[in-house]
Amino acid sequence: MTTLADAATDGAATPRIDRLGVVIAILMAVALALPFVTFRATRIAAGNGLRLFDALPPTAAAAVGAVLIAALVTAVANRRPSLRLALGALALVALALGAGAAGTHLTPADSPYARIAPGSGFWVGLFAGAILMTDAMVRLKLGPVGRLIALAVTVALVAGLLASGAWSHLSLIAEYRSRADVFWREAINHVILAGGSLAAAVVIGLPLGVVAYQLRAIRDPLINVLNIIQTIPSMALFGILIAPLGWVAANVPGAHAIGIRGIGTAPAFLALFLYSLLPMVANTVVGLNGVSRAVVDAARGMGLTVFQRLLQVEMPLALPVVLTGIRIVLVQNIGLATVAALIGGGGFGVFLFQGLGQTATDLILLGALPPVALAFAAAVVLDAAIEISGRGKA
């Protein structure tokens, strides 16, 4: 007769299947089966997908394939975080170098119009390797400083890859080279739109949140109005703002001179600012409400005024929640600023919508990848800041 102890022993002896590892392994297998790169005779011609061993010399293809298979096996069979992290990173490096080598190998010497782009297999493999690395970092329980170091190393490696010229024959870099000056101008516009609207939301939204916290009579009406603004689709809000800002530019002296127009940066900036108010106000109210009443009463008993209690006690304790609101706003605005290009607001959306109009996939990627990278980096940095600010306040 099987006892409970025997059953427990049998259960402990049976290795558990790592479900996430199985998913990663499936993705790696799919990546090996799909085209590694796409060859096009021109930038807008239909592409011809080439699998790993068709896109690279046999030795290089075997090396990349071996790394991906090792990552696949590790994802399923090994739970050691350090090994998973190493294999995930190695898979990403192998994919990146392999794509660059494929560009060099496949680019015809007599055809300047040919384009080689990373294919679906490359992107699926990149996704799988990133999941494997992220899972390993979660298992390692990296603190905020560790995550910031990992982000810095990743940025340095990507910058090194691009500066080395390893991707110089890929079509994405070709699109960048032909638009380098415009790219950096629009990058600055994108950062100004996202960061400037965030700064304005902090300056206006933080005091509004404090007022809503102190005066409960206006809290619900204010939050309801901001909720209504938040439900308006971005393109609709951009369009709604064109008419009033156009009127202001035409009728208010000096408005046009400082950049207020019906289309362009002004309506984009204002729309992003309006979208930013709800997270800022709501998180400020929630953060202040979350401060222990005993702490507030103790501060009152020490003779602190309302203003002193707010600045010296309540706001420092509410800071992690307020920073969470700032994180939400920044990541949201980095994404929404892309749509601003449709009304002349500039930013990376310029390339994205040009690419859509020209059916140029690499131009679409040139406009889509930088905002994704910026949003990811901003989320990592602000998550670390939130965790650091919350230490010692529990």
Could you report the per-residue pLDDT of 318-329, keeping only the tens digit for each?
899 999 999 999
Are 171 and 184 contained in the same domain? no
Most confident of the following: 44-48, 197-201, 297-301: 197-201
Strand ranges across the sheet with 48-50: 48-50, 37-40, 115-118
Q: What is the pLDDT of residue 369?
A: 92
Strands (E), the chain: 37-40, 48-50, 115-118
Counting beta carbons within 10 angstroms of the beta carbon of residue 187, is it exposed (0 to 12), middle (13 to 18) or buried (19 or more)? middle
Single out the residue in 176, 209, 239 at which a domain terminates. Answer: 176
Are 166 and 244 contained in the same domain? no
Are 328 and 382 contained in the same domain? yes
The answer, yes or no, to whether residue 377 has pLDDT greater than 90, is yes
Question: 12: pLDDT confidence band, cut at 50, 70 and 90?
Answer: very low
Average pLDDT over residues 206-216: 90
Mean pLDDT over each residue of the chain, to the nearest integer: 86
Q: What's phi and psi for 141, nearest 5 deg?
A: 55, 50
Q: What's phi and psi for 39, nearest 5 deg?
A: -105, 130
The pTM of the full predicted model, rounded to 2 decimals, is 0.84
Are 35 and 132 contained in the same domain? yes
Single out the residue in 176, 202, 229 at which a domain terminates. Answer: 176
Are 219 and 151 contained in the same domain? no
| CATH label of the domain that carries residue 304 | 1.10.3720.10
Q: How many residues does the chain have?
A: 394
Are 190 and 149 contained in the same domain? no
Most confident of the following: 125-129, 136-140, 141-145: 125-129
Q: Which residue has the higher pLDDT, 227 or 359?
A: 227
Classify each residue of 252-271 as buried b or exposed e, where b means 16 or more C-beta atoms within 10 Å of its C-beta.
eeebeeeebbbbbbbbbbbb
- Stretch among 9-18, 69-78, 85-94, 260-269 having the lowest mean pLDDT: 9-18
Which range of residues forms the domain containing residue 358? 180-390
Are 226 and 356 contained in the same domain? yes
Are 227 and 311 contained in the same domain? yes
Single out the residue in 159, 176, 193 at which a domain terminates. Answer: 176
Are 191 and 306 contained in the same domain? yes
267 close to 242: Cβ distance less than 8 angstroms: yes
Q: What is the pLDDT of residue 8?
A: 45
Q: Give the pair of three-digit tokens for residue 30.
A: 């799919």
Could you report the per-residue pLDDT of 285-313, keeping only the tens digit for each?
999 898 888 888 888 888 888 888 888 88
What domain count does the chain have? 2
Q: Which residue has the higher pLDDT, 250 or 393?
A: 250
Are 233 and 363 contained in the same domain? yes
Question: 356: pLDDT confidence band, cut at 50, 70 and 90?
Answer: confident
Contacts 24+ apart (CB under 8 A), 29-34: 29/72, 30/121, 30/124, 31/68, 31/121, 31/122, 31/124, 31/125, 31/128, 32/65, 32/68, 32/69, 32/121, 32/125, 33/121, 34/119, 34/120, 34/121, 34/124
Counting beta carbons within 10 angstroms of the beta carbon of residue 51, is it exposed (0 to 12), middle (13 to 18) or buried (19 or more)? middle
Quote the CA–CA distance of 382 and 64 in Å, as a whole number: 35
Are 266 and 138 contained in the same domain? no
Are 214 and 156 contained in the same domain? no
Average pLDDT over residues 40-63: 86
